[in-house]
Every structure is written in C-alpha cells, then in structure tokens.
C-alpha cells in the first residue's frame, strides 16, 4: 500500500451550482496545504456546468486539486443530444471521469457493454477512469458480492490494454452503502478490494495490480474513514454526501491525523 498514493475523490452528484462550486473549491484551497497534497491526492468530480469555473480556479491559482466529471459519452462527437464527450472534458483539463456509478447503472440503464465503451472513450481522450463497481443488497445477502463485482470488473475491462489499465482507478461501492448511512465494515471493504486486486493480477500481472488504486465508497465520513483506509487493499475513498461539506471533506483527506 505504501507505494500507492491514496486518492480522496468527492463526488458532488447533481449538487452545487457554479457559484457554490467556486466557494467550495476556494474553501478547499485555503484549507489544504502541501503536507496534505504530499500525503494524499485530492479530486472533485463535479457537474458539467461547474467544470469551467473549477478549471479557472485550479489553473489560475495553480491549485493541486484534481477535478473531473461524473460521466461521459461513449461517442466522440455527433448527433447525441445532451451528451458530453471525452474530448470536451479533456479540453477543460479534466484529470478524472467517473464511469459506471451505481446511479448511472440504476437510473440510466448502463450495462457492462456501455461501461466498457465509456472506459475506452475515456482512454481515447487522455482521461483517467474512476471505474465504479459493487453489488446491491440482494447480492450481498446471497453472499455473492465477490463474483458479482469481479464480473462487473471483467466486463468493464474487456479489450483494455495493460498500458491503459495501469492508470485506472477502481472504486468499490456496495450499492447498499451509497447514500444510506450504512457503511461497509472495514473487513467487508477489504474482502472485495482484495479480490479486485487479485483479479487485476490475473487479467494483467501482479506488478500492475500492485500499482492500481482501489477506492472504497459508501457513506464514508471523517468518523469512519481511518478504519477503512487501514485495510491493505483500500487506497482511497469515493465520497458522496460528506464531500459536499468542504470542512468535512478536508477532515477525510486528513484521515491519518
């Protein structure tokens, strides 16, 4: 774990208009110091309409905060009304893009083929995917969380080269823990994150698997993040609700304190 820099990413979902986004990033900028950035990579995944505002702040003040979008189109351009392409995101200097978030899978019917096409689209445009996988409550109750999540991983990584996969971030997000206040135990998180790393070693090789960052997501807060981060295969958190409060997000970034 020591060679992997933890990634703390805030997923704002459909919250914070561009004025609120500016105020929020300013709060992060004033609070975070080089000590924080040396220890942890910090990212915000913001609504498309906030990206330009966030870019202006980050570029203008040379902030070390990374930013990105919560989804992208599988297509590069054309007659896809309402869609946003990877090239549009890379023009705004996004570093990351979330792909396959459970809310996209649930409300927009994204299946493994769509998720795989979006991972490929991200790589075509120099964006790093934060690939979200994880089981629902019925699967968890049946004890099938590991095979279910690994099948999602296999589908998402179909035809993705080792060179590409070496930079991916995987977010293990059990759906029953997202926005519910019901956090997975550290052992639950470790079980699946460890299995994901094992599968990466099978699909590619051990060196690649050891380098890829695997986040946990699902009701992470300052009060539970340290125990989760203590697990050997957990390399960061994807944070929804708690990331909307800048002070709370800073406490999460400082999970070691």
Q: Decide: residue 244, CB within 10 A, 0-12 exposed, 13-18 middle, 19+ buried.
A: middle
**Residue 115 contacts ligand PEP per CB under 6 A:** no
**What token pair was written down for 146?**
């590991």
The answer to whether 78 is a known ligand-binding residue is no
Which CB sits closer to ligand PEP, 60 or 181?
Answer: 181
Which one, 53 or 219, has the nearer CB to ligand PEP?
219
Bridge partners, residue 34, by sequence: none
User: Per rule CB under 6 A, is residue 241 in the interface with ligand PEP?
Assistant: yes
CA distances from 173 to 67, 109, 126, 157, 192 (A): 20, 17, 24, 17, 10
CA nearest to 112, candidates 127, 85, 131: 131
Beta-carbon-side half-sphere exposure of residue 233 (alpha carbons within 13 Å): 19
Which one of 240, 250, 253, 254 is in contact with ligand PEP (CB under 6 A)?
240
140 with 105: CB under 8 angstroms?
Answer: no
Smallest separation, CB 238 to ligand PEP (Å): 5
Binding mask 207-226 for ligand PEP (x = CB under 6 A): ----------xxxx------
Residue located via tokens 């004033």: 30
Which residue is closest to ligand PEP by CB? 240
Q: Is 179 annotated as a binding residue?
A: yes
> Tokens 């609504």 appear where?
47
Residue 147, interface with ligand PEP (CB under 6 A)? Answer: no
Distances (CA, A) of 189 to 6, 137, 152, 168, 208: 15, 14, 16, 19, 21
Number of residues that bind ligand PEP (CB under 6 A): 14
Decide: is 178 part of the binding site for ligand PEP (CB under 6 A).
yes
The reply to whether 24 belongs to the active site is no
Q: Can 173 be counted among the known catalytic residues?
A: yes
Q: Is 179 in the site for ligand PEP (CB under 6 A)?
A: yes
C-alpha distances in Å from residue 16, one per residue of 49, 92, 135, 181 = 10, 18, 28, 21
Q: Which is nearer to ligand PEP, 190 or 219 (CB)?
A: 219
Which residues are the active-site residues? 101, 173
Binding site, annotated residues: 11-13, 179, 219, 240-241
Interface contacts to ligand PEP, rule CB under 6 A: 11, 13, 173, 178-179, 217-220, 238-242
Extract the annotated binding site for substrate. 11-13, 179, 219, 240-241
């Amino acid at each position: 774990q020591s060679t992997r820099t933890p990634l703390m990413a805030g997923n704002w979902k459909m919250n914070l208009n561009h004025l609120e986004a500016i105020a929020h990033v300013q709060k992060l900028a004033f609070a975070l110091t080089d000590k924080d950035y040396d220890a942890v990579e910090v990212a915000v995944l913001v609504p498309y309409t906030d990206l330009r505002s966030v870019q202006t702040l980050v570029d203008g003040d040379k902030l070390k905060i990374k930013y990105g979008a919560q989804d992208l189109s599988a297509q590069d351009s054309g007659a896809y009304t309402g869609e946003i392409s990877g090239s549009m995101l890379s023009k705004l200097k996004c570093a990351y893009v979330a792909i396959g978030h459970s809310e996209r899978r649930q409300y927009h019917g994204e299946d493994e083929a769509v998720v795989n096409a979006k991972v490929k689209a991200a790589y075509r445009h120099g964006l790093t995917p934060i690939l979200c996988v994880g089981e629902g409550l019925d699967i968890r109750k049946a004890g099938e969380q590991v095979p279910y999540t690994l099948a999602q991983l296999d589908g998402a990584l179909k035809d993705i080269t080792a060179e590409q996969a070496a930079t991916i971030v995987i977010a293990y997000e059990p759906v029953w823990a997202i926005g519910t206040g019901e956090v997975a135990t550290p052992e639950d998180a470790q079980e699946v994150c460890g299995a994901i790393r094992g599968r990466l070693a099978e699909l590619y090789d051990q060196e690649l698997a050891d380098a890829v960052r695997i986040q946990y997501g699902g009701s992470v807060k300052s009060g539970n993040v340290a125990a989760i981060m203590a697990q050997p295969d957990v390399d960061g958190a994807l944070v929804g609700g708690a990331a909307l409060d800048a002070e709370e997000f800073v406490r999460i970034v400082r999970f070691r304190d």
